[in-house]
Structure 1
């Protein structure tokens, strides 16, 4: 269960989670061969619902939405459970169809997934069904609900806990049979971004990242846990399961006890989807169905006249002229900055200067310069939010806040990159836990230099500063006369050169 506050941003509505209650029941596991829920599973679920009802006692009907999914679509005694559950919850429970579940999942994912230009594929493995959707923006275009799930498959193929070549192949074959039937339609429509939105997807991503199975080290100075699923990582995870032979012997970092029994079934379905749909790389979101249900409730109440706009924040990013208003992440970053009283004038100085430096650096192979420019601007905006905690090592506080903030729309990688830039914008470079493989050296150079030359917080015009990057170093050209009149900045630049040289990077300052 999720309770959220509505925030009205310049880019639309955002739901800020303020409370969550979670009780792992896995009702799909309580279905017997006759598709009847056991008394034990129903009692466990009703106990959880009783707690939920107590938490929601002060809410009115137009503030709550409760949905039931695949298990209640197939359970023969679903009505008996639903009737009792509604009494305990205090609100009606809607047993939604597979297509409606898919629609809500896509709507939720589209509001919290990393930004995408073009169509998006959303893949959600549930306990008894898997939803696959292609959409554009917030509108689903193609959706399907398949009768394959991590609980049902784990019970069907791995009921004794054993994992071997034979039963894993049988699970994959069964999953492929379902996915093959719809794959041609999905491949024909195509997509630019693949998103995993279920607990299974998030668990697999975390296992891949925490156990070094991704093969995509970014050497960031902050933790980046479970941001993506790759085909390579899936195969390595499968290999580990087959070598271990039994789920009780699994010894993987980040593997929770309640996830163990359903991991093999979920993994078999995920690998089958990657194989049949040709997916190579999948990013993650949080619980899309919950967010989608909230958006559906909000739209209904808005149409019924129960809500009204309570204010719009003016975005700071329009003045830069290089960032699209449609990117919902701008509003989130602005909201976070305002919470910590960002110095908007200093942001403008640092951001425009860093942007000017980035324009002078060559775009390297496969660089997403547009996304990097956004990250640099956001880092310029948030780099001083840690001052609200303490002046001492404020960049560490800033990075911690960014790393742990709820920022729907950001991939975990980009959120970690943003925190890494903020952490490194000031202080000694040789104290940062990064290596030559760090992917943002050029952005860090631009931000640190902009911070250094803007540190006096004055609006006086800077001289023309030219910058360039070599294989492992940077060079800047700056006016000798101006530096002589600004010894504070001159000292800062000399210290900056010394810091870069301590990590064996060239840093030349040429005077003109």
Structure 2
């Protein structure tokens, strides 16, 4: 069976076209990524911005052309934080309907499982307890699992776009703004820290654009084989948080090829570092997988979703 699994995030839209069966993914045909910034202004206005919806339409139109070229059997798009938070979120669903792309909001009870399965690519070491850390544009998911069993999962309203819009007024970033942003992250993490510590994770697996972009910056360019399972140490994360705070958006784009992520990378890196420090870990493991892999696995395994 061939499926198209889309992850419509607050900052980035992703589309995975893959083949497989109930046992998992056997071949990846395309893995498309586009910075859409769907969450533009949502934290302040509570609505999806017309410009963001126009970018979403353009991106999904291009994704649909690629999907049609591959003659997939099933399509499913999962919308996350921005669509959940926005009063006019229905407009995004209407765009999907027009284009023949079914869009669903990930139900709370399924989100942890889908994110966890996706981050591990469905290949899970049964001897390890993992903390999957998915830093998005509007929210951050923290899911603890042992083998393929979910032990704990929570979504916090901290994300790269949300925190940047709330706390950062210029870049380089003033010390006071850095402190306020970090203080807010630490306050949110306190809500879940004891539950995570109780389950004693052996390692952190970080997914989404922030960790993969930082790993790519360290190795001098994005190479999926090198970025996947790359180790970002606590000391290196501290370096990047400092570096991103002291550079302009344009410097971050030109020096580290961060593209549409350049203005929010400081907030995303700050979340990664805060979690590593809160759990007293030495670093984290980067995964190039994520929700889209979890959505693909859901379709392949269920055989009934459309």
Structure 1 match to 2:241: 238
Deviation at 1:32, TM superposition (A): 6.0
In the other structure, the counterpart of 2:137 is 127
**Structure 2 runs not aligned, ≥5 long:** 1-14
Q: Determine if contact 2:46/2:86 at 8 Å carries over to the other structure.
A: yes
Matches within 5 A, 1:11-410: 12-31=23-42, 33-57=44-68, 63-88=74-99, 90-111=100-121, 115=125, 117-210=127-220, 224=226, 227-242=230-245, 244-250=246-252, 253-301=255-303, 304=304
Tell me, yes or no, if the aligned pair for 2:299 and 2:305 is still in contact at 8 Å. Answer: no
Question: Which has more radius of gyration?
Answer: 1
Measure how far apart 1:277 and its partner are: 2.2
The answer to whether 1:3 aligns with 2:13 is no
SS in 2 for 1:77: coil
Query: 2:130, 2:144 within 8 Å by CA — same for their partners in 1?
Result: yes
- Partner-residue secondary structure (3-state), 2:24: strand
Cα pair 2:24 2:301 within 8 Å, conserved: no
Deviations along 1:356-390, one digit per CA (max 9) or x if unpaired, are xxxxxxxxxxxxxxxxxxxxxxxxxxxxxxxxxxx
* 1:112/1:286 contact within 8 Å kept: no
Q: Distance in 1 between matches of 2:253 and 2:20?
A: 41
Q: Aligned to 2:259, what secondary structure does the other structure show?
A: coil
The answer to whether the Cα contact below 8 Å between 1:179 and 1:273 also exists between their aligned partners in 2 is yes
- Distance in 2, matches of 1:51 and 1:21, equals 10
Deviation, 1:210, is 4.2
Q: Matched residue of 2:46: which SS? A: coil
Gaps of 5+ in 1: 212-222, 307-512
Distance in 1, Cα, partners of 2:253 & 2:299:
42
CA shift, 1:49, in A, is: 1.1
For 1:58 and 1:206, the matched residues in 2 are separated by 30
User: Per-residue CA shift, 1:376-432, capped at 9, x if unaligned?
Assistant: xxxxxxxxxxxxxxxxxxxxxxxxxxxxxxxxxxxxxxxxxxxxxxxxxxxxxxxxx
Q: 1:305 to 1:205 in 2, by over 3 A?
A: closer
Question: For the Cα contact (< 8 Å) 2:25–2:297, is it kept in 1?
Answer: no
TM-score by length of 2: 0.84
Structure 1-normalised TM-score? 0.52
CA contact (8 A) 1:69 1:98 kept: no
C-alpha contact (below 8 Å) 1:208/1:229 kept by paired residues:
no
Structure with the higher fraction of residues in strand conformation: 2
Give 2:7's aligned residue.
none
Corresponding residue of 2:4: none
Kept in 1: contact 2:205–2:286 (CA 8 A): yes
Q: Whose RCO is larger (CA < 8 A, sep 6+)?
A: 2
